Amino acid sequence: MTSKEKPISELAPVIVFAYNRPKHLRKTLTALKNNFLADQSILYIYIDGAKNGASDDTLSKIEEVKKIAASERWCKEVQIFYSDKNKGLANSIIEGVSEVISRHKKAIILEDDMLTATGFLAYMNTALGLYQNNENVISISGYVYPIKNLPETFFIRGADCWGWATWERGWKLFEQNGEKLLEELYAKNLQNVFDYEDAYPFTSMLKNQIAGNNDSWAIRWYASAFLQNKLTLYPRKSLVQNIGFDGSGTHSGHEAYFHVNLSDKQIQIKRIACIQNQVCFIKFKKYFKASQGIKPHPIKTFIKRGIGFLKKSFHYNG
């Protein structure tokens, strides 16, 4: 049976979280509608309420978001939930994912600034089915960084947040208490690995969440998966593009570093060994370092090149 032939009972529901970005939401929903399997999938749209003292412009945008959400049958079935108060991004996602997963035992999650390739749902559902009984796998990621020469699919320890999916057993491992997660990181002396060997300040992000400087659910999701030594499956080329780096989102910036070209080919999914791909981990690390403007240490680079030369010479002479 191909992914296109899967009956509706086997497909994971899709969740889209929205707030006050009507233009982004329309693009996200239009791309989702163009997906294979969209016409067989259930879609839940959660729209957060306005903050106290919200401007007329914000209120108008929220109303426009509501109209867009209800304007078309984006999937086979669409259910829309409106909050009468502002929960914030983190609470909206945590509560919404928990509600849907309690009902369906699995879910595919998007935010209102994520364009998907037409093969996104097929990839997510196929991978969810293939690894549903493997306790080592906590989630499936549709996004992957713009890194060349990656394998068709591979595993990395932890979890990601731009177009992802999980099962009930995986979501049960999510720990909301950031302080508890940080304490465990320090107790196990895992900060360095957590930060991709000092390539990206994930520990600092967790500290900022605890201090109230950000409201990130994603850093807690990554830490929860990492500390449980769980894996996330990634595709060779990204099936998700984040269009929120325009200053419009809660945690967005004006960066283009994470921009990707969506895959125009279907990802070929087959069962692979459930261990972290160390080559891909190193590529992620190099990418994160480049994104932070961290240049390789000249002495370390020289030593590595020397060792590489000796290895090649030994192999040639041997």
Residues 46-84: b if buried by 16+ CB within 10 A, e if exposed = bbbebeeeeeeeeeebbebbbebbeeeebbeebeebebe
* pLDDT for the residue 233: 98
Q: Is the pLDDT of residue 268 over 50?
A: yes
Q: Which residues pair with 42 in a beta bridge?
A: 77
Percent of the chain past pLDDT 90, that is, above it, reads: 82
* pLDDT for the residue 248: 53
CA–CA gap between residue 197 and residue 2 (Å, rounded): 40
Q: Is the pLDDT of residue 194 over 60?
A: yes
Q: How confident is the model at residue 224 (pLDDT cuts 50, 70, 90)?
A: very high
Q: Is the pLDDT of residue 162 over 90?
A: yes
Lowest mean pLDDT among 70-74, 204-208, 267-271, 302-306: 302-306
CA–CA gap between residue 285 and residue 259 (Å, rounded): 17
Average pLDDT of the residues of the chain? 89
For 44-78, the pLDDT digits (tens) are 999 999 999 999 999 999 999 999 999 999 999 99
Q: Which residues pair with 106 in a beta bridge?
A: 167
Q: Is the pLDDT of residue 206 over 70?
A: yes
Percent of the chain past pLDDT 70, that is, above it, reads: 86
* pLDDT for the residue 250: 46
* pLDDT for the residue 257: 77
Average pLDDT over residues 256-265: 89
Beta-strand ranges (E) seen in 102-157 are 106-111, 114-116, 137-141, 153-157
* pLDDT for the residue 247: 54
> Which has the higher per-residue pLDDT, 3 or 212?
212
> By 3-state DSSP, what share of the chain in percent is helix, strand and coil, each rounded to 5?
45, 15, 40
* pLDDT for the residue 308: 41
Residue listed under structure tokens 């493997």: 134
2: Cα separation from own chain's centroid: 25
| Strand 114-116 versus strand 106-111 pairing type | unpaired
* pLDDT for the residue 293: 77
CA–CA gap between residue 166 and residue 105 (Å, rounded): 9
> Which has the higher per-residue pLDDT, 214 or 310?
214
CA–CA gap between residue 171 and residue 80 (Å, rounded): 22
Q: Which of 128, 94, 95, 93 is nearest to 111 (CA)?
A: 93
Instruction: Tell me the pTM.
Output: 0.88
Q: How confident is the model at residue 304 (pLDDT cuts 50, 70, 90)?
A: very low
Q: Is the pLDDT of residue 202 over 60?
A: yes
Residue 274, classed as helix, strand or coil, is coil
Domains of the chain (ranges plus CATH)? 10-173+228-292 (3.90.550.10), 174-227 (no CATH)
For 230-252, the pLDDT digits (tens) are 999 999 999 999 998 865 544 44
Q: Are 81 and 43 in contact (CB under 8 A)?
A: no
